[in-house]
Chains A and B, each alone.
Chain A
Amino acid sequence: MNIVVCIKQVPETTEVRVDPETNALIREGIKGIVNPFDENAIEAALQLREAHGGKVTVVSMGPPQAEEALRHALAMGADEAILLTDAGFRGSDTLATSYALAAAVKKIGDVDLVLCGKQAIDGDTGQVGPGMAERLGFPQVTFTIELEIADGKLRARRVLDDLFEVIEVKLPAVVTVVKQINEPRLPGMRNVLKAKRAEITKWTAADLEADPTQVGFDGSPTQVLKVWPPQKRSSGQLLEGEPDEVAERLAGIIKELNIAPR
């Protein structure tokens, strides 16, 4: 089986900070990690390779530092990593991203299965997987919690709001997975060291023979007008000590704030 896993590097913290001047995400000082759902997709791919043989290729589109995310995938056990990186990709929305990733899948060729996480924890759109399926003309299965392959067909169990759905599709297909599908393996140090030295293939827009009007700002109809952090709630004050003493201090604070009913 020839499996491609598409992954995204996301900021580690879920408390993303926004520059109040520019409304852009502040990425400095925040470590990049593999989007957690994409780690599940990598794990699913590795398990399928163990069961059916074949090859797992991870692909990511992003700035040069997204290489780190690909190295993590290699450390988990992926065979090959490709980074789509080009100044022309900057500003790509989900439509443009799915275009570029689909072009990469076509260039890899003879792909049986494309796996993705159900969504990225920074953008939370969940659109890139389905977008790729459209571009590739592959059937799509989203929110997958169980997956099995037999006789060139894929049977998947999908998690929907209040029900499960079991569907069967022909390969090649695009599948997005939820967290509960598996427990991503811990990368062994032998693989970590190997991944550190591994060659990562880099493809530009020209390598993909991409239509420049379909990628980057030009290929992105979505415009983010404004991003702002939710209002911060203060964490409160913790009073410690003997109950009597704490009660007395609490009463004092309430009195001070002048919020007690009269």
Chain B
Amino acid sequence: MDFTLTEDQAAILEHVKEFCDEHLAPKAKETDEAGVWPAENVAMLGQLDLMGIPVPEEYGGLGMDFLTWAMVGEELSRACTTTGAVFGAHLLAVFPILSFGTEEQKQKYLVPLAKGEHIGAFGLTEPGAGSDAGAVATKAVRDGDDYILNGTKIFISNGGEAQTYVIIASTKPERGARGLSAFIVEKGTPGFEFGKNEKKMAYPSLPNRELIFTDCRVPKENLLGREGAGFLVAMRTLGVGRIGMAIGSVGVARAALEAAVPYSKQRHQFGKPISSFQAIQFMLADMATELDAARLLTWRAAWLKDQNKPFEKEAAMAKLYASEVAMRVTTKAVQVFGGYGYTKEFPVERYMREAKLFEIVEGTSEVQRMVIANHVIRELG
């Protein structure tokens, strides 16, 4: 076991932290409240070579590993949750093209994504297909050299702003999950439009849009993986996506703890800082401990991915635990702040609303428990 960062990881993190403190954190509140796409932040992520961390250099990436990607994601989410969410959602297009794309697809789509010139998004969820990914109703019918897509995706992060979409559609509806296929669809393709942008409990600046396909012709060259491999593409992508959600959870929890500690030292009641009261100390101790446990689970999942070892169970554990920790830690942070914590003057109420996302998105806590239980029962039964 070795928990030491490599020299490269340390150098990258040092610069990323500096960038976060100087450019993201000071305007995180503004970025959130603006309710508009954080274009400037996203452009800076590209300039910093952060949009393709685990992509090989020959495809415009940094050639680092998923663990480094996870560490950077935590810093971004801690400094600006919205920017962290864009960073996480972007990888959901990067990863499947990296893993399943042909050389031509990689040159055409992966390179600009990795360089941050294009933003990516992943379209799986539909009104009738969320946890049950096999129930996808969007259809893709082969017609000559094209596929014709019809259907609607919902809640798609980065939707409308991204240029490159990885879309899961059914090519053989009678075969259910085995009849799914993945496609790369470019923004601007005739028949591909954007619908409603959801108004959510938090993240007003992160778009979660409907993607509407109406007789949308996609060239057969844009089939990602073979026909029928869509479920595999989706599951692999969600596996990595779960690590991403665990990262976001750790980031927001850390932001909450880092707000609560100084406040508890500064806030005086009964003539003493409230940090001197055991009731507050025990909350801070639990917050710090659970945060570390969540981070270590997340790092393990990313490390397994980097070792090309199975990581599905571990990613589900990390996502489940980290998201629930984020909820507990942010709730306690509001409690430490007391009445002020309930106001918009301090960021902790926002963190609490933001944390709730992670217990739902990319597989609810209940779905994660299903995934984990399946593994545990198979392994130990």
A186→B48 contact, CB < 8 A:
yes
> Is there an interface contact between B7 and A196, defined as CB atoms closer than 8 Å?
yes
Q: Nearest residue in A to B53 (C-beta to C-beta)? A: A189
Q: A185, B47: Cβ atoms under 8 Å?
A: yes
CB closest residue in chain A, given B23: A186
Question: 5 other contacts beyond A189-B12, A192-B11, A196-B11, with CB at 8 A cut-off?
Answer: A187-B48, A189-B16, A189-B50, A190-B49, A193-B8
**A188 interface residue (CB < 8 Å to B):** yes
Binary B-proximity of A158-189 (CB < 8 A = 1, otherwise 0): 00000000000000000000000000011111
Residues of chain A with a CB closer than 8 A to B19's CB: 186
Q: Looking at the complex, which one of B15, B23, B57 makes contact with A192 (CB distance below 8 Å)?
A: B15
- Cα of A196 to Cα of B10 in the assembled complex, Å: 11
A248 to chain B, nearest CB (A): 15
Tell me the number of A-to-B contacts counted with CB atoms below 8 Å. 36
> Is B44 in the interface zone, CB < 8 Å from A?
yes
B-side contacts of A189, CB under 8 Å: 12, 15-16, 48-50, 53, 62
Which A residues are in CB contact (< 8 Å) with B15?
A: 75, 187, 189, 192
CB distance from A234 to the nearest CB of B (A): 16
Which DSSP category, helix, strand, loop or mixed, fits chain A's interface? helix
Query: Which residues of A sit under 8 angstroms from B16, Cβ to Cβ?
Result: 189
Q: How large is the interface on A (under 10, 10 to 19, 20 to 34, 35 or more residues)?
A: 10 to 19
In the assembled complex, the Cα of A192 lies from the Cα of B268 at a distance in Å of 44
| Interface of A toward B, CB cutoff 8 Å | 75, 185-193, 196, 240
CB distance from A190 to the nearest CB of B (A): 5
Inter-chain CA distance A196–B14, complex, in Å, is: 13
B62 touches A186 (CB 8 A): no
Residues of B within 8 A of A (CB): 7-8, 11-12, 15-16, 19, 23, 44, 47-50, 53, 57, 62, 267-268
Once the chains are docked, how many angstroms separate the CA of A196 from the CA of B6? 13
Asked if B47 contacts A186 (CB within 8 A), the reply is yes
Jot down 17 A-B pairs with beta carbons below 8 A, ordered by A: A185-B47, A186-B23, A186-B44, A187-B15, A187-B48, A188-B48, A189-B15, A189-B16, A189-B48, A189-B49, A189-B50, A189-B62, A190-B57, A192-B12, A193-B8, A193-B12, A196-B7
User: Which residues of chain B have C-beta atoms less than 8 A from A188's C-beta?
Assistant: 47-49
* Assembly CA distance A186 to B48 (angstroms): 7
Taking CB atoms, residues of chain A closer than 8 Å to B23 are 186
Interchain CA distance A240-B62 in the complex, whole Å: 49
Contacts of B53 in A (CB 8 A): 189
Docked pose: A190 CA to B44 CA in angstroms? 14
CB distance from A61 to the nearest CB of B (A): 24
Which residue of A has the minimal Cβ distance to B15? A192
Q: How far is the CA of A196 from the CA of B57 in the complex (A)?
A: 17
- Chain A's closest residue to B61 (CB) is A190
A187 CB contacts on chain B under 8 angstroms: 15, 48
Residues on A with beta carbons closer than 8 Å to the beta carbon of B44: 186
Given A187-B15, A189-B62, A196 contacting B8 (CB threshold 8 A): yes
Closest chain B residue to A238, Cβ basis:
B266
Q: Chain B residues near A193 (CB, 8 Å)? A: 8, 11-12, 62
Q: Distance in Å from the Cβ of A249 to the closest Cβ of chain B? A: 11
CB distance from B95 to the nearest CB of A (A): 19
Q: How far is the CB of B10 from chain A (nearest CB, A)?
A: 10
Chain A residues within 8 Å of B268, by CB: 240
Q: How far does the Cβ of B79 sit from chain A's closest Cβ, in whole Å?
A: 14
Residue of A nearest to B268 (CB): A240
Report the separation of the CA atoms of residues A189 and B12 in the bound assembly, to the nearest whole angstrom. 6
Residues of B within 8 A of A240 (CB): 267-268
Q: What residue of chain B has the Cβ atom nearest to residue A193's Cβ?
A: B8
User: Which residues on B sit within 8 Å (CB–CB) of A191?
Assistant: 49
The answer for the CA separation of A196 and B11 in the assembled complex, in Å, is 8
Contacts of A190 in B (CB 8 A): 49, 57, 62
Question: Distance (Å) between the CB of B40 and the closest chain A CB?
Answer: 12
User: Whole-angstrom distance between the alpha carbons of A185 and B16 in the complex?
Assistant: 14
Distance A186 CA – B44 CA, assembled complex (angstroms): 8
**B8 — which chain A residues lie within 8 A by C-beta?**
193, 196
Which of A185, A189, A191, A240 has its CB near the most chain B CB atoms (within 10 A)? A189
- In the complex, the chain A residue whose C-beta lies closest to that of B10 is A196
Which of chain B's residues have a CB closer than 8 A to the CB of A196? Answer: 7-8, 11
Chain A residues, CB < 8 A from B47:
185-186, 188
Give the complex CA separation of A126 and B23 in angstroms. Answer: 29
Closest Cβ–Cβ distance, residue A36 to chain B (whole Å): 12
Which residues of A are found within 8 Å of B49, using beta-carbon distances?
Answer: 188-191
